[in-house]
Chain A
Amino acid sequence: DTGVSQDPRHKITKRGQNVTFRCDPISEHNRLYWYRQTLGQGPEFLTYFQNEAQLEKSRLLSDRFSAERPKGSFSTLEIQRTEQGDSAMYLCASSSTGRGLSPLHFGNGTRLTVT
């Protein structure tokens, strides 16, 4: 399978705990995105990497959130001191560079439930 891979698929955690999610993009894609999706809404942009550089962060990404892409391949998204409002589907997407705009391809997401 050469699509975007996310792990874990589901995570249940207690409020106040830290969680970390992993995303493996399509291998030749050097752009990587994190989105968050809540019930009944479209995905909302969180942050974007080109290679290992984090180039933009949404205002949705509070200080408790941090994302890394240390070698320009896989990425991790960490949420510290989770809150119930963090419960959502966290989606990763990747796209290629090249001439013009390249469509984003999404993984199947990590569903986070904070109890």
Chain B
Amino acid sequence: EAGVVQSPRYKIIEKKQPVAFWCNPISGHNTLYWYRQNLGQGPELLIRYENEEAVDDSQLPKDRFSAERLKGVDSTLKIQPAELGDSAVYLCASSHDSGTGVEKLFFGSGTQLSVL
């Protein structure tokens, strides 16, 4: 079974430029998450989707970040314009709702963003 696939693996951009990350979750997983991981820190949730609906985006900086999950499968996270402080690893994860509480997450390898 294929895992969570993210691309690109690395991205280097200059500040004020736009950038986009793509994620394809595990087949059949209805819940998709975008996390941001700063250096030396644990991941922090940006947005969670249940199918195509964003059900928790309280941590997403909406002035510059946007996300979409068309057709409830793969997802794109965009930053426009990027700032120096956006340098981090952006992790995508997915889970299957088994109805037994908070589910375990399956993570992709992440996109390491460097804003110069």
Q: Do A and B come from one complex?
A: no
| Residues of B in contact with A (beta carbons under 8 Å apart) | none
What is the interface of chain A, defined by CB distance below 8 A to chain B? none
